[in-house]
Structures are given as structure tokens and as C-alpha cells.
Amino acid sequence: MFDERFARRRAARYRRKGLDATARRMVELLEHRGLRGATVLEIGGGVGEIHIELLRRGAASATNLELSPAYEAEAARLLDEAGLAGRVDRRLADIAADPAAARPADIVILHRVVCCYPDHPALLAAAARHARDQLVFSFPPRTPVSRAFVAVQNRLLGWGGRRFRTFAHPPAEMLAVLAEHGMHAAVAHRGAVWQVAHARR
């Protein structure tokens, strides 16, 4: 699913238009509480546009964990263009399966990632354990329309021979996982396609 073509398209879009509206909201939420000197852990950050923007706004360093290696060339190009090479550590790892893959950070971000992962409690629990101060993640709403969309999409993926599936996990369950790990979590934005949750210690 997340191949070099997808990475090229994401990087080109970011160069042309900057962050998408949901990512911009996530950055603004984090910026509101202060970014100066913060360490960032982005899970499933793709070509890395969110942590690039956080570094531009004062964060100190970032680690990106990805499952797909297809983003690396575009991500390196974007970091060079931004003059930020050397401030981002990019690793291929699944934090839910390998919690030692990254050290805890002040800020943890997952943009459009929980909807690609079947075991949301494991992923969010690992993310929360790594968040020293704030955690922000985006997810699709769980409505009859979104559930029908996900069902059709998964049927098409199955017919196309793909193993990848998407999910509209229950928002209350996701927030409860963060609360179980000592975070105060709430939905900060309710868009029709993407919602944003923000959690802090």
C-alpha cells in the first residue's frame, strides 16, 4: 500500500501545499503548549512532514518509526531541503511489537496510523508509554457511514489480493487506553473524515 509512488505523491503535495488541514491542527495543538526543545516521536510518519514542521517551530529532535521502507528516499530529500538532516532518526519498527525500538519523547504523534493497525489498544498503549508530556493522534470517526466505507474498502482490498485493511476503531476505547496510561485525553477536533485526539500527562 505505502510504496515509493505513495511517498513521492505525499512529498510533492507537502512541497506544493504544506501540511494537510488535519496535520496542521495537530501541530497547532502541540505548539499551543510549547515546543521549545521538545523531543518528538512520530509513529507511522511517512515522509515526515509533521515532525519537520515541529522542528521548524522549535522542537529539538525527532524519531520516526515506520513499517514501510518506501518513504526513506523522499524523507531524506525533504530533510535536506529543510536543512534538518541530522536532527531526525528514522527507524523501521513496530512500536507495539517492539517497545524498545524508540526512547520516550516529550511528544508522540500518530497521524492516520491507528486506522491502519488492527490492534489499537497495543499500539496506543505503547505510544502512551513513550509520551512524557503530550500525545496527539488522528483517526476516522466511527459512524454508520465511515463503517460502511471501511467495509467496502476492505472488501475491495481483499478482492485486489491485498492483506492491508483499514479500521474505524471506537474512539472511546482509544481514549480509554490513554487514560489507563495516566494521560488526560479528549477529542480536540471532530471533522467528517478525520478527528483529532489530544492527550497530556
Q: Which is nearer to ligand SAM, 34 or 73 (CB)?
A: 73
The set of cell numbers assigned to 22 is 488535519
Q: Give the number of residues in contact with ligand SAM, rule: CB under 6 A.
A: 19
Which range of residues in 74-82, 91-99, 147-155, 188-196 is near ligand SAM by CB under 6 A?
91-99
By CB under 6 A, residue 44 contacts ligand SAM:
yes
Closest approach, Cβ 94 to ligand SAM, in A, equals 4
By CB under 6 A, residue 174 contacts ligand SAM:
no
Give the burial string for 43-58 (b: 16+ CB within 10 Å, else e).
bbbbbbbbbbbbbeee
The set of cell numbers assigned to 149 is 466505507
Choose, by CB under 6 A, the member of 41, 46, 106, 140 that binds ligand SAM.
Answer: 46
Cα(31)–Cα(4) distance, integer angstroms: 31
Cα(76)–Cα(93) distance, integer angstroms: 18
Per-position x/- string for 108-147, each x denoting binding to ligand SAM as judged by CB under 6 A, each - no binding = ---xxx--xx-----x------------------------
Q: What does each C-alpha distance from 109 to 24, 105, 146, 157, 168 come to in angstroms?
A: 12, 10, 23, 27, 18
The set of cell numbers assigned to 199 is 492527550
What is the DSSP annotation of 88-128? EEEEE--TTT-GGGS--EEEEEESS-GGG-S-HHHHHHHHH
Cα(78)–Cα(85) distance, integer angstroms: 9
Q: Which is nearer to ligand SAM, 129 or 184 (CB)?
A: 129
Closest approach, Cβ 200 to ligand SAM, in A, equals 21
By CB under 6 A, residue 43 contacts ligand SAM:
yes
By CB under 6 A, residue 105 contacts ligand SAM:
no
> Which position's Cβ is nearest ligand SAM?
44
**What part of residues 48-67 is at the interface with ligand SAM (CB under 6 A)?**
65-67
Closest approach, Cβ 67 to ligand SAM, in A, equals 4
